[in-house]
Each structure stands twice: as C-alpha cells, then as structure tokens.
Amino acid sequence: MELKANNISFSYNKRRQILKDFSLSVDSNRIIGLMGDSGSGKSTLCKILAGYLTHYSGEVTLDGNKIPDRGFYPVQLIFQHPEKTMNPKWKMEKVLNESWTPPKELRDTFGLKDQWLTRWPNELSGGELQRFSILRAINPETKFIIADEISTMLDAVTQVQIWEKLINHAKANNIGILAVSHDPELLEVICDDILFFDEINNL
C-alpha cells in the first residue's frame, strides 16, 4: 500500500503559510524518516496526513483513493505528548480498549504490565503512557503510522527498544511508518530513508 500526499498547501492564518505544494509518498513496507527544525510545520503535516486537519488544499490518498472520514481511520497518528491523548477520568484499561483489545503477547512485547491497566493516566509516567499510545495505534485496521516525535521523553536505550518492537510489528503486519523527528541520530538508526522537511516544502 502507498500513502501519498499530493501538493498540499496549508496555513493557519493569512499572514504565514506553513506548507506549500508539499508532496510525499510512503510505502507500507518501508520506514521513512522526516527531519525538520522545530516550528517548521512537521506536526501540522502529521495532523493533515492523519485526518485531524481538513481545511487544506491538495489531497491525501491511500492507494490512489481518498480516505473516508467515517469509521476507523487507517492512518493513525501517535502524538508527542501521550498524557494529552488520554481521558483523565478513564482507567488505562478503557483507554487501551478504546481502539482495540491487544492480545497478552503483544502487551508483553511492548513491556506493558498488567497492573498498569487498573491505574489512572496521571499515575503513570510519560514513557509508560507512550507504550499505551503505540499499542492503541497498531490496531489491525491500521495501515500507516505517523510517529510525531514519539520517543522524546524516553532515554536512549528505551527509545531504541520501543522503536525496535514497533518496527518489528510493522514489518510483520505490513504497516508503513513515517517517523518524524529533529534528531538525526535516531532517524539514522531506525529509518530506511530520510527526507528533509525544508527541502520538499516549497516555501
């Protein structure tokens, strides 16, 4: 499968344009890294690809087809701050099951302890919460994952561990990954190919 963004232009207000004629293609058996400076519009692009922002020009297609807005969205975004993506009044079990119910082996693979499931989101650390976010995103219906700086709150060793598990799972299930970061060393290690945001953004 192929996730394509064609000639995407976007601006939050009239004064400053963020994206201009931006085109990008991700294949589902590859891991593409996208590197750019802070504030360059990486997160905005991620939100457009994952269907969070809709008032852009240009189009995002999956295998040449527009992605329907109803139902489970096949392009899932993993946010930089996991604590903001969880309802503070929900137990972690409900948070996890909102997307799907991952089998026990998968929970073990990502180092999710069973006792965390009965906790509130504010009782777990950022790294623990991010494991939940990743597990939520790898729903069987997911075709692509947009990882927007998902490992910035982790130490180097844990970063690599989590990325390795995510990549293994993605390769096995034919899920494409777009890894967005401003950390060249990390992208160097995990990605098949690295794109530079400013070079493909025609501003």
Q: What is the DSSP annotation of 72-105?
A: --SEEEE-S-GGGGS-TTS-HHHHHHTT----HH
* Residues 99 and 139: beta-carbon distance below 8 Å: yes
By beta-carbon proximity to other proteins, the closer residue of 90 and 183 is 90
Taking CB under 8 A as the criterion, which residues in 141-200 touch other proteins?
Answer: none
Residues 51, 58, 111, 127: which binds other proteins (CB under 8 A)? Answer: 51
Identify which of residues 44 and 201 has a Cβ nearer to other proteins in the complex: 44
Toward other proteins, which CB reaches closer, 123 or 155? 123
Residues 76-135, interacting with other proteins (CB under 8 A) = 76-77, 79, 81, 84-90, 98-99, 122
The helix/strand/coil state of 168 is helix
How near is the Cβ of 193 to other proteins at its closest, in Å? 26
Size of the site for other proteins (CB under 8 A): 23
Contacts 24+ apart (CB under 8 A), 112-119: 116/92, 117/91, 117/92, 117/93, 118/91, 118/92, 118/93, 119/91, 119/92
| Binding residues for other proteins (CB under 8 A) | 50-52, 70-73, 76-77, 79, 81, 84-90, 98-99, 122, 136, 139
